[in-house]
């Protein structure tokens, strides 16, 4: 116990003296270059005033549960647990802090969440100010964003800290020889840990030594994906798309690195299949990227349009629709025959569960080890890895031409998602004694 406390203090000093200044300098440098880093940096200048205003609007500040998410994916993992807690303990208030501008901008008003804020940058004094201001009775972190000073402040003030939908990959730097000692000092401050699978639990033993408080409950993203898919087909009837006459397929969340491989093959497919059309959702619909897609379509002799310019169903000769709006992804998947999910020729594949729950066979590129779900779907024969344009063209042609094959494959991935629903309820049930103590 004394040794563990000594290591905690040692690493806390090292982190604040050596690491925090570098993190601040790196964040300021990224902000200077512009983009979302700049947006998040500037917003944090007034984080305290904005948070005070949000707290003043609460009906009650006695029992605040704070969730924290890095960005969009972790935010979606937090929401199912927040909904259950809000129903079970109606007198609580729920706050959500996020690190990235993407997560902050993505969030829409939600009955389960009373306010959203940026998490202040992780210095000792900023963390202390944050927890002094909010005074939460519980701190719930989604997946992995465990900031040392914020965790230490929970420990110092006796606030239970929970890690939910937790993952720890085999190749994670968090379990390296020296870095592992650093992370163990802070991960040990979590009160409870809820990994998504048994292999993660085994690896967490290196960082989180409380076996009885480490319970596998699954990935809460499955719950959120199913929740968000409800009513998608009915809502899709109002889209300005001609699903009755067109056979749509999707290139979803694509980056430039995806576009160069799959778009030329997709355009070739359109020429061979007169009733087919493609819906393209860029990961970030920057004007330069959208124009590059339009140019490639023009060079291939295929007419395209932007979704925002549609006033009714696309003209018969429009074969490509570039989705330059947000909030309709589930509806688009509901009218799609299959989906290629992007990021997998770049940093790593994006969410494969969203198309799967709506019965879409899924394709992705070689970089998908970041997604446990992609690996499982591939093993089941419901998802396919493609490494070249020719592989995409061959598999897409097979899916386009065989309705029976498409439904069989799509059924496998949908079944996989449905089998994994319930992680949020299992997490709440496992922590019920703690929640009853601090929330009732």
CATH class of 229-419: alpha beta
Start-end of CATH 3.40.50.11720 domains in the chain: 46-220+422-439
Give the C-alpha separation, 406 to 247, whole Å. Answer: 12
Mean local confidence (pLDDT), 114-142: 95
| Mean pLDDT, the chain, integer | 92
- Digit-coded pLDDT (tens) for 167-194: 988 878 888 888 889 999 999 999 999 9
Q: Does 4 score more than 70 pLDDT? A: no
Q: Does 203 score more than 80 pLDDT? A: yes
* Nearest CA among 368, 434, 124, 395 for reference residue 265: 395
Residue-level pLDDT at 336: 95
Instruction: Tell me the two tokens of residue 340.
Output: 């290629």
Question: Pick the residue with more confidence: 411 or 240?
Answer: 411
Sheet holding 303-306, edge to edge: 303-306, 318-322, 276-282, 247-254, 336-341, 362-364, 383-385
> Using 50, 70 and 90 to split pLDDT, how confident is the model at 41?
confident
Q: Does 1 score more than 70 pLDDT? A: no
- Digit-coded pLDDT (tens) for 296-336: 999 999 999 999 888 777 777 889 999 998 889 999 999 99
Give the C-alpha separation, 293 to 185, whole Å. Answer: 48
Residue-level pLDDT at 44: 87
Start-end of CATH 3.40.50.2000 domains in the chain: 229-419
- Digit-coded pLDDT (tens) for 148-167: 999 999 999 999 999 999 99
The CATH code of domain 46-220+422-439 reads 3.40.50.11720
Residue-level pLDDT at 259: 93
- Digit-coded pLDDT (tens) for 15-33: 999 999 999 898 888 888 8
* Nearest CA among 216, 185, 192 for reference residue 203: 216
Q: Does 3 score more than 60 pLDDT? A: no
Give the C-alpha separation, 90 to 345, whole Å. Answer: 45
Q: Of 63-67, 320-324, 367-371, give the lowest mean pLDDT range.
A: 367-371
Distance of CA 371 to the CA centre of its chain: 11
Q: Of 86-95, 106-115, 257-266, give the lowest mean pLDDT range.
A: 106-115
């Amino acid at each position: 116990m004394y040794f563990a406390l000594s290591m905690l203090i040692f690493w806390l000093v090292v982190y604040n003296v050596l690491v925090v200044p570098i993190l601040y300098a790196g964040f300021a440098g990224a902000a200077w270059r512009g983009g979302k880093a700049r947006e998040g940096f500037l917003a944090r200048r007034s984080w305290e005033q904005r948070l005070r205003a949000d707290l003043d609007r609460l009906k009650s500040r006695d029992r605040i549960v704070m969730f924290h998410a890095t960005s969009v994916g972790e935010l979606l993992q937090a929401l199912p647990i927040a909904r259950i807690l809000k129903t079970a303990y109606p007198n609580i208030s729920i706050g959500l802090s996020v690190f990235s501008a993407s997560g902050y901008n993505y969030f829409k008003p939600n009955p389960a969440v009373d306010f959203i804020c940026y998490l202040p940058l992780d210095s000792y004094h900023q963390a202390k100010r944050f927890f002094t201001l909010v005074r939460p009775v519980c701190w719930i972190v989604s997946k992995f964003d465990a900031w040392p000073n914020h965790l230490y402040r929970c420990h110092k003030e006796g606030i239970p800290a929970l890690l939910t939908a937790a993952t720890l990959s085999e190749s994670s730097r968090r379990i390296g020889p020296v870095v592992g000692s650093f992370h163990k000092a802070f991960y040990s401050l979590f009160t409870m840990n809820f990994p998504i699978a048994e292999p993660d639990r085994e690896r967490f033993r290196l960082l989180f030594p409380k076996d009885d408080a480490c319970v596998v409950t699954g990935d809460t993203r499955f719950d959120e994906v199913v929740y968000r898919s409800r009513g998608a087909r009915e809502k899709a009837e109002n889209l300005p798309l001609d699903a009755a006459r067109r056979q749509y397929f999707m290139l979803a969340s694509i980056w430039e690195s995806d576009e160069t491989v799959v778009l030329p093959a997709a355009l070739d497919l359109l020429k061979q299949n007169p009733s087919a059309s493609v819906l393209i959702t860029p990961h970030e619909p920057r004007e330069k990227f959208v124009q590059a897609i339009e140019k490639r379509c023009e060079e291939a002799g295929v007419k395209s349009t932007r979704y925002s310019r549609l006033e009714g169903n696309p003209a018969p000769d429009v074969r490509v629709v570039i989705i330059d709006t947000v909030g309709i992804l589930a509806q688009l998947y509901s009218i799609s025959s299959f989906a290629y999910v992007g990021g997998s020729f770049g940093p790593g594949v994006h969410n494969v569960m969203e198309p799967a729950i709506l019965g879409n066979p899924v394709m992705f590129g070689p970089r998908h080890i970041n997604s446990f779900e992609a690996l499982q779907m591939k093993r089941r024969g419901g998802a396919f890895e493609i490494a070249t344009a020719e592989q995409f063209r061959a598999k897409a042609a097979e899916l386009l031409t065989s309705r029976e094959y498409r439904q069989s494959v799509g059924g496998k991935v949908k079944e996989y998602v449905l089998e994994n629903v319930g992680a949020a309820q299992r997490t709440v049930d496992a922590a019920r004694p703690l929640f009853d103590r601090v929330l009732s």
